[in-house]
Amino acid sequence: MEDRRVFLFASQLAICATVSALIAFLVAYNVRQTPSVASVQAPPLVVSMPPDIPDVVSAVQPSIVAVDVAVDEEFVPKQLLDTLPEPDLSEIHDGVRRVSSGSGFFVTEQGLVVTNRHVIDIPDVPANKHHISIVSHGGQNFDATVTAIDPVLDIAFLSVSSTRGIPFPILSFASSSRLRVGETVLAVGNALSEFPNTVTRGVVSGLNRRILAEDDFGEEMLEEAIQTDAAINPGNSGGPLLNVYGKVVGMNTAVAIDGQSLGFALPSDVLLRSIESVKLYGRVIRPFLGIRYELREEGGAEILSGVGAHEPAIVIGSPADHAGLREGDVVIAIDGVSIDDVHTPVQLIGKHQVGDRLHIDILRHDIPMSFDISLVEFVP
């Protein structure tokens, strides 16, 4: 299966412009005539009118924030120095330089903010040399601390405190499983790191995309991604993708730079699992099997090693290792669900909890075999 290569834009501060398309829908129904019987008229089509888009935007904007990350100037990674524009006085203050900017939104009234991991996690920079702040819709600045980082997905959590004890406004969620291709969506965020509260409008262009995303520091696979033509610009990373009712259906994460209007968002159902874990345990708990695989065109996922010792086919000491899975095995089903480009091992395992027992069917040299394996917590 061919992976789409897209880019994570939070750490780039270059100015560009994007024009988003507004799409109108015409709905009609037909009256059908049958020669041998009386004319039969179709029942009236009942269309529920969504709220007015400007009203929706006004309601959600107070919950959405800009996220700025600065580091002590002597710790700015070389990869960023090669890509960042020449700093102006606004980007260097007391020896601290802004290196990344993105978006986020409140998920608790107590000040828990969700954003993309690549917005706030600058590799090779000590934690005490990061300086993270958020700017509210009203322009108020808050110092933020990192509460949790998802060990698997491009998700991170920040915490801020209200200076006046007033609860922060939060967004509501809708299930991404109910999204349909062609559905209208809104992307909101800190576009180009210069234009906060920017709103773009588009449609869901595709669902369950599996794409390879990369930034200045590496690459990672995004599973189950929502594809949209709503303009997603540098700085939009971590902002919400909303339906026309103002409910979160995804989090804007990446964009294809070799195409037009190709943006990708993590689905809300995946995002909610991380949010609930942080609320309950103070960290993101992910179930872990311990295999690296590649999907096959004919179905199934072959367990294969990657490039270098850091990408083994089977992680030593993992549940897969203890159960006896081997490189070259082809996982054909998990709990009776066949593996394909929609039902991937990552997706199916991600729906489980630590301690759950999976029934895994494989082919080893074309010989069917089955394993029952208990999942453990992933520790990076």
Residues 276 and 148 sit within 8 Å (Cβ to Cβ): no
What the chain holds in terms of domains, given with CATH numbers, is: 1-10+50-282 (2.40.10.120), 287-377 (2.30.42.10)
- Please say if 118 is a catalytic residue: yes
**Does this model's pTM top 0.85?**
no
Residues 155 and 271 sit within 8 Å (Cβ to Cβ): yes
Catalytic one of 68, 103, 118, 136: 118
Helix/strand/coil for 15: coil
Question: For the chain, give me the number of helices (H) and strands (E)?
Answer: 6, 22
Closest by CA to 16, choosing from 199, 241, 235, 238, is 235
What does 184-223 look like in DSSP terms, one character per residue? EEEEEEEETTTEEEEEEEEEEEEEEEEEEEEETTEEEEEE
Distance CA 318, CA 378 (A): 9
Helix/strand/coil for 255: strand
Distance CA 218, CA 253 (A): 15
- Please say if 93 is a catalytic residue: no
- Please say if 359 is a catalytic residue: no
Catalytic one of 11, 101, 237, 268: 237
Over its length of 380 residues, how does the chain's per-residue pLDDT go in tens digits?
444 455 554 433 332 333 233 222 223 333 333 333 344 455 555 556 678 899 999 999 999 999 998 887 666 766 555 555 555 444 555 667 677 889 999 999 999 999 999 999 887 777 777 789 999 988 889 999 999 999 889 999 999 988 777 899 999 999 999 999 999 999 998 877 677 788 999 999 999 888 877 665 556 778 889 999 998 887 889 999 999 999 999 999 988 776 666 899 999 999 999 999 999 999 999 999 999 999 999 999 999 998 777 789 999 999 999 999 999 999 999 999 999 988 999 889 988 999 999 999 999 999 999 999 999 999 87
- Region of residue 279 (phi > 0: left; psi between -120 and 50: alpha; otherwise: beta): alpha
What does 122-144 look like in DSSP terms, one character per residue? -TTS-GGGEEEEEE-TTS-EEEE
